[in-house]
Structure 1
Amino acid sequence: ASVVPNDSSDKVLNTQSELAVNSNTQLGLTLGYMFTDNISFEVLAATPFSHKISTSGGELGSLGDIGETKHLPPTFMVQYYFGEANSTFRPYVGAGLNYTTFFDESFNGTGTNAGLSDLKLDDSWGLAANVGFDYMLNDSW
């Protein structure tokens, strides 16, 4: 599973600088239940994502990485599967809801030396979408 943050922040230390967050990829696991031959419910869980936080633009833009955070983004999806239930190849589309909770957020030495303290990230809800396919290798898989 990959997370590409849509980051935004207030200006930092009364400068024109803002905070930016990098992307991360982790092991993702899904558990699904087929309500009908074409409609399923899926839960996505993943190992914790770790993101570096850096400054962007303005007077502090050259500081580089100033902190880090971890988060978990459980996601709940309803998916529609095309084709017959016994088809070898079954594409699907899905839409759902994501809840992201942050933990272990902190500034590193560069951040605290620049005068930053008390890093706080708000948990959030968001929309989620996915597209994919299932491929039946044989009758058992």
Structure 2
Amino acid sequence: MTYSIPEHPLPTWLADLVSPLDDKLGVKVREISPTRCVVTAPLDGNTQPMGLWHGGGSGVLVETAGSLAAMAHARTFDHSAVGTELSVSHLRPPRGHQVIATATAVHLGKHTTTHTVEIVDDEGRICAVGRMTCQVIGQ
């Protein structure tokens, strides 16, 4: 289980945080910092019975991108982060081979973080938008 891909080296602390669900979905981390996290997942194998991207996959990507960015923030003062709120609005089904979720910090506090997340397809169309709030906790 790994989030890494050869062309995007990741921080060593991330190796122990791979979620089994993310691993099943094929989630890969392209970029990670407190202010921005970019993750991808393949469309193939992550569809609902109609053959479209499963909306639950969007929820996973919003949670993963937002939580990893929150974790990167919390680690700057030896803390951790856990999710407390998740919302996703589905706008259109993605096309192509993968979806890309980009979390952008809205609030990076001592006790909470909030990130907005845009999910786009291979054509660059916004397919879903979400928000992830995390609580910063001591280790």
Place the TM-score, normalised by the shorter chain, in its bin.
0.3 to 0.5
Question: TM-score, length-normalised on structure 1?
Answer: 0.32
Q: Choose between structure 1 and 2: higher helix proportion.
A: 2
**Which protein, 1 or 2, shows the higher relative CO under an 8 Å CA cutoff with sep ≥ 6?**
2
Q: Choose between structure 1 and 2: higher strand proportion.
A: 1
